[in-house]
Amino acid sequence: MKTKVAVIFGGVSVEHEVSVISALQAINAMDSSKYEAIPVYISKSREWYTGDVLKDIENYKNLDQLFKDADKVVFEQENENTIVLKKKERSMFSKGLITSVDVVFPVIHGTNGEDGSLQGYLELLGIPYVGCDVASSAAGMDKVMMKQILRDAGVPIVDYQWFYASQWHEDQEKIKQLAEQVGYPVIVKPANLGSSVGISKAANAEELEEAIDLAVSYSFKVIIEKMVTDLTEVNCSVIGDYEQVESSFCEQVLSTDEILSYADKYQSGGKNGDTKGMGSVNRVIPAEISEDATIRVKQLAEQTFKLLNASGVSRIDFLLNPEGKVFVNEINTIPGSLSFYLWEPTGKNFEQLTDQLIQLALKRERERQSIQFSIDTNLFSLHSKNGGSKGK
Amino acid sequence: MQIVLSLLSVIWIAYLFFRVKQGLHMLQLNSYFNNRLYRWMTGHRMRVFPINEWLALVVSIIYYFTENWIVFLIVLLGLFVPRNKQEKKKLVVTARVKRLIITIFIIYLFLIATSLHFIWNDYPLSYAVFVIVLGSLFTYGIILLANLINRPIENRIKEHYYQDAKRIIDSATNTETVGITGSFGKTSTKFILDTILSSHFNTLKTPNSFNTKIGVTITIRNSLKPYHDVFIAEMGAKEPGNIQEICELVSHKYAILTAIGEQHLETFKTLENIKKTKFEIVESLPEDGIAFLNGDDENIMSYTPKNPCRKVYFAIDDQSADYVASNIRFHNKGTTFTVSNKAGTLHADFETKLLGKHNVYNILAAISVAWEMNVPLNKLQLGVKKIQAVKHRMEIKKGFGNLTVIDDSFNSNPTGSRMALEVLGTMEGFKVLVTPGMVELGDKEFEYNKMFGQYAADACDYVILVGAKQTKPIQDGLREKNYPEDQLFIATDLNHAISQIQALNRQDAIILLENDLPDTYNE
């Protein structure tokens, strides 16, 4: 008997393809003597599929064929403690049951997967799942919320301002003033997109306009950040939960441009359809930064993880200026390739990583169940109307 | 005429549907035991043999003489007087009920075939009528018969469930099972062990007091997941062999024997039988299994198990045991104690919200198991801290203006109340007892309450008795011990008692609420 792990990936997100790669990596990494991985693929048109054909990356080249070979499915609560995957189209004589599911492992980057919405759905289903819960996913996804939480705790972040897209359309001058306050050069980003999409830099008001126009086409909420010149970009992964965390090796991201573009991140090195995902970016592990900076990055990574009440594995991205000052840039609560490449040098291979993540999900589930038991009763109920606490 | 009767036969089936449903419901409420249903039937004759059906029978006999089918029709219609009775617990249409319905349906099909045979083959029509009326009259009889017919099938299905559960648990190779049995304390120990182990493992326990073979089977089939590391099975015994059966089902690796007392003596006959049955949990362990035994229990210690497996003894009094709890202190937050083991690997303090020596035994048993399962000390200590008290059983609360209250309102037996006073007596603070006394103790009620008063005199700084008349024996007990009158207050009801507690105005007060009674008892 193996624990059935439904790995959900794809989804309605600009990082759809990256998600497929990360998920298939995770599925291959899972200890098959302990876990049975069930691929659950959400297409760009929001339809859910399962089937062994989904386990091979080659099959994604011809999506029409893939959809024909896979089964369209829905999750269903069969009884109090059984969640099952069922065929969406059932014949008259079949219940359409495909399999029961014990744990869900979401591997979707960005919208509708990393932002708490999928997590909310899983909460409603009442099934344990890997990674951050609803609130921490949402806070991690929204760059503004994340910065507000971090700033409140005194974690170093670069100066920023934010606004809604509608404000930009109403009063451009005011928004430009916000940029002045931050001070050029700035980086303009959509506030709630997981990837590098829609991000651009602006050295002056003219470029700003262009940058904002791009950003508002991706999000209703936009953030203007002070650009760190001559920056060093360093990432560090953290695994654990509110009780116990550990941080990985640090990686240094090498980029020709100051901003790591979507193409840099996911298409560099790949021949026909990148299958290596995050593993193929130009990177240096460990990061070539001072020992002090490494310690600082690791410490801030763990602090950020705990402040946001994250769970599972996250990757926290940092900006270092030439003076060696460290700023927390963002958190990825479902990082590309689950950051396995940052853990391998520490002696934790991808199989151990997935195992630890699933165990963390089960731990959270059992803690939740134990909490529901301890609802205190009011002592005054002892001498209520009929005087007997035992009742009659 | 024949057509009318044939039609009636069909209508008859529709009516029977309601009768059968009612009967099945009663069978279900009697746990599908024919003898229990029969006992219920003898007590509810009017429901089993409805009067209108008796009438129908009588009139059909008249019809036999008059040959007037209109009379018969009228009477038959009388059968359809709708009866709407509110049911507390509705019939649950389980697979078993469906199977019964099929059997019953076949029986009735046979009856209706007989009746149609009479109708269409020129027999006197009364023959058919007779079959119809008898069929309705003996609905319950037919249900009993169907249940009897189905019994071998049901047994086989049950056996299939056992086998299925066995298959599931055998295939869960990562799951280790802990079996718990004993004359008392097994349910508490189960909850405590689960709380402690779940700080480190994924656990599953049999819910509530599920402790029979079928209870364990249901738990495994419905809830055991491959990721469960530990399955905690409570095992109860009503007769010899019961525990053996469950053990064979779950193949446990750890066994806890909490205590052995003279419970269920009527079915076990002798204490030896009880011991032997409880020790089935040890005897059925594999050789690499571990038995955890209460080293202070003389009934456990006087039995020599044949199984060569490892035995771990836990105790409070016997200092030579493998795991010993010492330095037990009761205070307004609960209990603190130290646990050390013979191996010298464990020596640590534990805190719990629970009170009472019996709880220390239960927790100690759980600690021993958890330690042998390599649960880290900090998680063990945290787990013990998390254990919740059972409602109204020595449950520490804050109340009456942030004072410490020990709610023991569920307790009303002499041993339990004495133990509660002992715990209170060792605590630091201004000790107040609030009680309406104990009731329903039969002949010895006066004597027990008087003794209760005597113990209270030694343990308490202040006593509030609720109800002057009913607490007379306690007052006597207190006075015999020369308990100062100014430390005794007799309240008319609980609210009166509460206002007196407030009037005392002692911030260090610890209030023991011993037994709780409805106001009607406050004379």
CA distances from B191 to B25, B30, B362, B383 (A): 34, 30, 10, 11
Reduce the DSSP state of residue A14 to 3 states and report it. Answer: coil
CA distance A57 to A37: 15
- The answer to whether A23 and A15 have CB atoms below 8 angstroms apart is no
DSSP-assigned letter for residue A129: B
Q: Are A11 and A19 in contact (CB under 8 A)?
A: yes
d(CA A334, CA A107): 6
The string of pLDDT tens digits covering residues A356-381 is: 999 999 999 988 887 765 444 555 55
Is residue B379 a contact partner of residue B195, using CB atoms and an 8 Å limit?
no
User: Is the dihedral angle over the CA atoms A212, A213, A215, A221 positive or is it negative?
Assistant: positive
Burial of A156 by CB count in 10 Å (0-12 exposed, 13-18 middle, 19+ buried)?
Answer: middle
Taking residues A209-216, report their average pLDDT.
94
Pairwise CB contact (< 8 Å): B410 & A390: yes
pLDDT band at A385 (very low <50, low <70, confident <90, very high): very low
**What integer is the mean pLDDT of A109-132?**
93
Residue of A nearest to B495 (CA): A383
Instruction: Please state, for a pLDDT cut of 90, what percent of chain A lies above it.
Output: 75
Position A236 scores a pLDDT of 97
Q: How far is A309 from chain B (nearest CA, A)?
A: 19
A 18-57 near B (Cβ less than 8 A): 34
3-state secondary structure of B191: helix
Q: Residue A17: in which H helix or E strand, if any? A: helix A16-29
For residue B424, the SS3 value is: helix
User: How large is the average pLDDT for residues A220-227?
Assistant: 94
In tens, the pLDDT along A129-177 reads 999 999 999 999 999 999 999 999 999 999 999 999 999 999 999 999 9
Q: Could you give the maximum distance between any two Cα atoms of chain B, in Å?
A: 97
pLDDT tens track for A24-56 = 999 999 999 999 999 999 999 999 999 999 999
A80 — pLDDT class (breaks 50, 70, 90): confident
Residue with tokens 């209108």: B52
A1 to B493: CB separation less than 8 angstroms, yes or no = no
pLDDT at residue B1, rounded to an integer: 62
Other CB atoms within 10 A of residue A195 CB: 22
**Nearest CA-CA partner of A196 in A186, A188, A204:** A188
Whether A385 contacts chain B with CB within 8 A: no
Q: At residue A193, what is the residue type?
A: L
Q: Say yes or no: A102 contacts chain B, CB-CB below 8 A.
A: yes
Report d(CA A224, CA A128) in Å as an integer. 37
Give me the pLDDT at residue B88, please.
63
Which ipTM did the prediction report?
Answer: 0.79
Chain A residues with CB under 8 Å of B519 CB are 386-388
Residues A120, A121, A126, A131, CA torsion sign: negative
Tell me phi and psi for residue B77, to 5 degrees: -60, -30
**Backbone dihedral angles phi then psi of residue B72, each to the nearest 5 degrees:** -60, -45
Give the nearest chain B residue to A102 (CA atoms).
Answer: B225
- B94 touches A: beta carbon within 8 Å: no
The amino acid sitting at B75 is V
CB B461 within 8 A of CB B431: yes
The pLDDT, as a whole number, for residue B190 is: 95
Q: What are the DSSP E strand ranges found in B391-447?
A: 395-399, 403-408, 430-435
Listed range (A213-217, A271-275, A293-297) with the worst mean pLDDT: A271-275
Chain A partners within 8 Å of B493 (Cβ): 387
Spans of chain B, pLDDT less than 50: 519-523
Say if residue A64's pLDDT is above 70: yes
Interchain contact, A102 vs B227, CB within 8 Å? yes
pLDDT attached to residue B61: 62
Arithmetic mean of pLDDT over chain A: 88
pLDDT of residue B411: 72
Q: CA nearest A78 in B: which residue? A: B222
Burial of B339 (0-12, 13-18, 19+ CB in 10 A): buried
Residue B309 host element (H or E)? none
| Adjacent-strand bridge partners of A318 | A234, A328
What strand order describes the sheet that includes B310-315? Answer: B203-205, B230-234, B176-181, B254-257, B290-294, B310-315, B323-331, B334-341, B347-352
Give the mean model confidence (pLDDT) for residues A2-14. Answer: 93
Predicted TM-score of the model (pTM):
0.79
The DSSP letter of residue B286 is -
| Start-to-end C-alpha separation, chain A | 47
Q: How far apart are CA A150 and CA A147, in angstroms?
A: 5
